[in-house]
Amino acid sequence: MYILRFLDSFKPTYIAIVKGDLEKERRTKKTLNFLRQEPFYPSLKSHKVNTRSFGERRSSWISGDLRIIWDFDPKEKMIITIFAIVTHTGAHREYK
């Protein structure tokens, strides 16, 4: 099982995009649980992406337009660093 480490950049994106929407909160929690167990679980659709703020990282599907940006820790492969929750489009778009 992987250890999830949340960067300070995660909290503001979570608050802005997810917090208060019970369905988004539920799906985000489910995605984080899958990441903890198996980061390449098929329903996560995990893949590499180029982001504006974090460089080349990995993205996993939460729902619809919602994604979580993460990557493996370069020194500890059993640690996953969680950067942010973003969208494909709109004000919270992170992809280049």
Predicted structure pTM score = 0.92
- Residue 26 belongs to domain with CATH number: 3.30.2310.20
Q: Domain count of the chain?
A: 1
Digit-by-digit pLDDT tens for the chain (96 residues) are 999 999 999 999 999 999 999 999 999 999 999 999 999 999 999 999 999 899 999 999 999 999 999 999 999 989 999 999 998 776 667 766
What is the span of the domain harbouring residue 75?
A: 3-87
Distances (CA, A) of 20 to 7, 51, 71: 21, 26, 26
Residue 95: inside a domain: no
Residues belonging to the chain:
96
Does residue 93 lie within any of the structural domains? no
The neighbouring-strand residues paired with 51 are: 55, 95
